[in-house]
Structure 1
């Protein structure tokens, strides 16, 4: 599958890039150097431009294989990277897809994640024909909880999983097309 671009209102969703015209790698390194990002997105270590380049290439390969749709959330006039949103697990069938997102620390608290996630979820239901999309986050990640609620996800359960040396409690959410608000809530 080729990457699809999405106009998400105040933001533009596009493929991550590392080329002569647009290079997301420095912003990715900055984001993953942030303590909060490292706390909640513990499955990636991106310490330098080479790691960020491998990350961008991985996302491009996942698009090609049809296993993940991943978008750079960007400012529409400059292309500046504000975060990332994705739909993963596409190879698992219509009810196995999980949504995820992160926001660059300099752009948190502005509705970036909820606006982008809502656009990605609408794409999943409309263009991909998905019937249910899941979302999960660690207990205590209040920002992720707010994003899920704003986008119409409903809490469906919890589990305990091991991430490296630590055991964490994950909260599981899901949404269907009829649960999504027409527009994500912006307050709260």
Structure 2
């Protein structure tokens, strides 16, 4: 599948990039170096620009294979990376949404606006009938995002010592 751009009102969603015209790698490196980000997103370690480039290439491959649709949440006039949102598990029949916001742009509705747009894309363009969302129980920002986007809390579990909350949105 080719990456799709989405107008999300005050933001636009586009593929992550690392080319001569637009380079998201420095913003990715900065975001994944942030202590708060490392606390909640433990499955990725991005230590340098090369790792950030690998991350961008991985997301492009996932679009190509149809396993994940991911978008850079961008400022519409400059293209600046504000965060990322994705729909993953598309090939497994268990679609899950995820998002993160660059530390310099938190508290501005970036995640909830982007997640809402991604969920609408999933229900409309991908014809999904349900989308899950999970986060660490201590991550109150993620809880607010789930609630703003209309997800319903369905339960909790423990994974590697962390208490996870599970949410679902239904078309």
- Under TM normalisation by the shorter chain, which class is it? over 0.9
- Structure 2 counterpart of 1:102: 100
SS at the partner of 1:90?
Answer: coil
For residues 1-188 of structure 1, the aligned pairs below 5 Å read 1-93=1-93, 96-162=94-160, 167-177=161-171
Q: TM-score, normalised by structure 1?
A: 0.90
Structure 1 residue 92 displacement after superposition = 1.4
Structure 1, residues 85-111: CA drift from partner, whole Å, max 9, x if none? 000000012xx1000000000000000
**3-state SS of paired residue (2:73):** strand
Separation of aligned partners in 2, 1:66 and 1:35 = 31
C-alpha RMSD of the superposition: 0.4
Gaps in structure 1 of 5+ consecutive residues: 178-188
**Structure 2 CA distance, aligned partners of 1:66 and 1:98?**
14
Distance in structure 2 (CA, Å) of the matches to 1:28 and 1:39: 16
Q: Which runs of 4+ in 1 moved over 6 A?
A: none
CA drift of 1:26 comes to 0.1
Q: CA deviation at 1:139?
A: 1.0
Question: Which runs of 5 or more residues in structure 2 are unaligned?
Answer: none
Q: TM-score, normalised by structure 2?
A: 0.99
What is the count of residue pairs matched by the alignment? 171
Separation in 2 of the partners of 1:46 and 1:23? 15
Quote the Cα distance in structure 2 between the aligned partners of 1:99 and 1:56. 18
- Matched residue SS, 1:3: coil
Equivalent-residue separation in structure 1 for 2:67 and 2:73 (angstroms): 19
CA–CA distance in 1 between the matches of 2:154 and 2:72? 28
Once residues 82 and 72 of structure 1 are traced to their aligned partners in structure 2, the CA distance between those partners, rounded to angstroms, is 7
